[in-house]
Amino acid sequence: MNGKIENDEELKEAYADFCQTASPAERAAIDRILQTAHQQAKDVLAPSERGAPPKVQVQYPSLATAWSELKPETEPVDPRLKPGAAKELFGMRDPVDGQGLIWGTSKYLQLDTGWTEALVGFFKYRNKHAPFGAKPQIIEIPDPVTLALAGDWGTEFWRDDTPSQRVQELIQKGDFAYTLHLGDVYYSGAEDEERAFVDHWPKGKLGSFTLNSNHEMYSGGQTYFDIALSSGGKFAQQQGTSYFALVNNSWLLFGIDTAYFSPASNLYMDGTIDESQQRFLQATAAKYSDRRLAIVSHNEGFDLKGGPTNALWAQVETALGRSPDYWFWGHAHNAVVYKPRKNCRCRCIGHGAVPYGVASDLKGAPEVDWYEKGSAGDDRVPRVLNGHLELILDGRGIEEKLRGEDGSLRWSASDSGRSS
């Protein structure tokens, strides 16, 4: 894919081709997702007490308008999904739901029709995946070492003073040894989008790493493997492979690919790792068994509110022989610090660039220690601060600092590692 979709006709043509080649089960699964997304969007924007946030739990928010675009003769666009409807119904512009999703029509908000580019990519590339790299590198890093992590940052600089640009400039000022992107280049990892991501990503003094994601899989992972992981580029240390390990005398940090083998029938939303990654985790963890363990991934080990651990968690835990000490993930556009789970400290840091609001569902959630609520002061979108995570690994100790896009320290913690 070389650019944005031009109109609804491209979506309809891609869907028609999909219907011709997909099995009945595949088609039914995707149709069910699109219908569900459409209905949930209508439920979110249903009339309610003026000024009250929507209360619907949304599974596929960015596909809200796709079904009516594909089936206008039987499912016309609901007037509640049109620009301005939210303000009329809620007495506010761009309402924020319980997950922090902003239901507006501006760029990267939930009713932005640009999200259908991801669906077009999925229809075109679901059977045209890039070859999976199989040369995982074990890279020695210094002790102490500084790292910057940002998730879901690949929005391009779409307007003046974008969150992505502010986060980029902040990371550059930090002068980190390594920078890690937790995946997602929007809308679909199209060629121009992936090149913009590579061009703008702030490189660490000693190197940079980037993970695969569901959005890059909407282009079959083609641009992720061919452009982002190209030899001689910013991410050349990965040797064309989407998973790797960083190791020093005290720490072993794994970057894993949770998207490539994720089921296409659920639009790559369910994170999973294949047997080659499981073997790599098992063998490397055994070799460095005295190190503290950290995981960096795109997909999460449990849901935003800190519910039960999922199948991905079980895969990682089984491969390592225990739970990791730390796990950092993105995917959900939010910044959340969780209470320890099986002696593992988990952080959602998918707030690198996409606008999001205060997630009211997290208020009082028993498994949540902290989540971002600070206003970004953006008069165009009612959003809270985007940002990134700073890590300092010093011996067995670790220091974490969540920075807002304005440079403010939003949350911090330190752990000496003496009891591990």
Q: What is the DSSP string of 177-188?
A: SEEEE-S-BTTT
Strand partners, 255: 244, 296
Distance CA 179, CA 172 (A): 10
Distances (CA, A) of 304 to 97, 186, 307, 329, 333: 13, 21, 7, 11, 10
- Confidence (pLDDT) at 181: 98
Pairing of strands 409-415, 387-394: unpaired
**DSSP state for residue 69 in the 8-state scheme:** H
Helix/strand/coil for 158? coil
Domain locations along the chain = 8-125, 138-415
Residue 214 gets the label, from left (phi > 0), alpha (psi -120 to 50) or beta, of alpha
The highest-level CATH class for domain 138-415 is: alpha beta
CB 211 within 8 A of CB 224: no
- Confidence (pLDDT) at 1: 39
Helix, strand, coil shares, percent, the chain, to 5: 30, 20, 50
Total-model pTM? 0.95
Q: In what order do the strands lie in the sheet with 244-247?
A: 138-140, 244-247, 251-255, 292-297, 326-329, 345-349, 335-338, 368-371
Distance CA 301, CA 362 (A): 17
- Confidence (pLDDT) at 2: 40
Closest CA to 347 of 394, 262, 412, 420: 412
Instruction: Name residue 98's amino acid.
Output: G
- Confidence (pLDDT) at 50: 54
- Confidence (pLDDT) at 4: 45
For 104-151, the pLDDT digits (tens) are: 888 999 888 899 999 999 999 999 999 999 899 999 999 999 999 999
For 231-275, the pLDDT digits (tens) are: 889 999 999 999 999 999 999 999 999 999 999 999 999 999 999
Per-block average pLDDT, block size 10, for the chain (420 residues)? 57 94 94 90 71 69 85 76 64 80 89 91 96 96 98 95 97 96 97 97 98 98 97 95 98 98 95 98 98 98 97 98 98 98 97 96 96 95 96 98 98 85
Strand partners, 228: none
- Confidence (pLDDT) at 111: 86
Strand partners, 401: 390, 412
Distance CA 90, CA 61 (A): 18
21: which residues sit within 8 A by CB, 6+ positions away? 127
Assess whether the previous peptide bond of 371 is cis (omega < 30° from 0).
Answer: no
